[in-house]
Amino acid sequence: SRTVDSLLNFETVRYFNNESHEVARLDEALADYEKAAVRTRESLSLLNVAQAGVVTLGVTLMLVLAAFDIRNGDMTVGDFVVVNTYLLQVAIPLNILGTVYREIRQSMVDMENLFALVDEKTDVADAPDAKTLRHEGGVIEFQEVSFRYETDRTILKDINLAVDAGTTTAIVGPTGSGKSTISRLLLRFYDPQAGRILIDGQDLRELTQHSLREAIGVVPQDTVLFNDTIYYNIAYGNPKANEDQVLAAAKAAQLDDFIQRLPERYQTPVGERGLKLSGGEKQRVAIARALLRDPAIFFFDEATSSLDSTTEREIQSNFAKISKGKTSLVIAHRLSTIIEADQILVLAEGAITERGTHPTLLAENGLYAKLWREQQKEEREIPRQSSPVPSSPESS
């Protein structure tokens, strides 16, 4: 596992010039493994020697007794041959048993782990009478929703929100305020400890998880790709889609031009977990997946955070066309990306503290206005920065 971890994070290893450190860690792990393997082999060899000694001693004693019986006339030479044959038939399997003992023990451990995995209960299960979600526009409601993970800290407190069909609602707030938890609850990875979540008036607890997730297209903050081609990873959003639909989704996500410059184009492997693609390219693949799915509800979790401003504007323009008439829920860090939202919710310490449109929230001069001013200040300061090469201590 250490080798795989080092290879997956090879860029980080190089950034910090820690190749020798990783080699030392690997040597240490190999040394521990070697010691454990030697101890195992020693114990197995000792077991085999002891068992072989016991079996050999037993066979020898039996043959000695048979020889005495022949001398006394109680057995014939033919009887001695039969006894010797029977003893060999018993001794050989006993010797093999010592050899396979370790394999039997390991198989028993593996079986126990497998059964423990099979017996593991799911965190969220469908109700016995769960129904299929009926699409009636895509209205989302959170009613007095409170949630916490296994810790004592409450993540969401008495959340009330309503997203009308065909509208866009954005959720903003400081890091750790509970924004991403809302997406996990909406997709029913967890159930809230209090309150209800409804889509088109239907409680999520009463719906099948398959029909619920079929209706939602998600662009996550962290995109994970399969070790396959770019085409496969885009088509994963809808395995039944044809080639024209996959290409159209890639173009809408501003990904087609990049793909056409690759030697193998859409058949280019992306590497394990998408290592051959940059963060922005992986994010565009995730966007193409969601667009290809053509769901009733879009959920964007900081979907354009790794994109440059030009690409971001182009994708947002395509989003506006494709998601027209569909419900969209957006978690945003850059406030400039959600100024056109029909409703903006400000989440702080697990509670909704402000709600309204961009102009009304600025007029209230609350947390949203503060975040807006800070981001605008940062954007104005970026062009003023000098060369990225830091000055020498002498010049400063």
**Per-residue model confidence (pLDDT) at position 137:** 78
Residue 385: is its pLDDT beyond 50?
Answer: no
Q: Which residues pair with 184 in a beta bridge?
A: none
Dump pLDDT digits (tens) for 63-113: 788 788 777 877 777 777 787 787 777 777 776 776 677 677 778 888 888
Residue 383: is its pLDDT beyond 70?
Answer: no
Residue 390: is its pLDDT beyond 70?
Answer: no
Q: Over the chain, what is the mean pLDDT?
A: 78
**Per-residue model confidence (pLDDT) at position 296:** 82
- pLDDT tier at 11, thresholds 50, 70, 90: low
Dump pLDDT digits (tens) for 330-364: 887 777 778 888 888 888 887 888 888 888 888 88
Residue 55: is its pLDDT beyond 80?
Answer: no
**Per-residue model confidence (pLDDT) at position 317:** 64
Dump pLDDT digits (tens) for 223-240: 778 888 888 888 888 888
- pLDDT tier at 312, thresholds 50, 70, 90: low
CA distance 113 to 92: 32
11-25, 121-135, 136-150, 176-190: least confidently modelled range: 11-25
Q: Average pLDDT in the 148-164 region? A: 81
- Residue 171: phi and psi, rounded to 5, are -120, 125
- pLDDT tier at 304, thresholds 50, 70, 90: low
* Percentage with pLDDT > 70 across the chain: 82
In this structure, what token pair is assigned to residue 343? 């409703």
Higher-confidence residue of 132 and 310: namely 132
**Per-residue model confidence (pLDDT) at position 353:** 86
**Per-residue model confidence (pLDDT) at position 14:** 66
**Per-residue model confidence (pLDDT) at position 319:** 65
CA distances to 81, 142, 182, 242, 298 from 163, rounded to whole Å, are 91, 9, 13, 32, 12
**Per-residue model confidence (pLDDT) at position 98:** 64
Residue 396: is its pLDDT beyond 60?
Answer: no
Higher-confidence residue of 318 and 45: namely 45
**Per-residue model confidence (pLDDT) at position 388:** 43
Dump pLDDT digits (tens) for 285-302: 888 888 888 788 888 877
54-68, 245-259, 326-340, 380-394: least confidently modelled range: 380-394
* Percentage with pLDDT > 90 across the chain: 0
**Per-residue model confidence (pLDDT) at position 323:** 65
Angle between helices 19-71 and 77-119 (to 10 degrees): 150
- pLDDT tier at 394, thresholds 50, 70, 90: very low
- pLDDT tier at 389, thresholds 50, 70, 90: very low
Whose structure tokens read 């769960």? 130
Higher-confidence residue of 117 and 316: namely 117
**Per-residue model confidence (pLDDT) at position 306:** 54
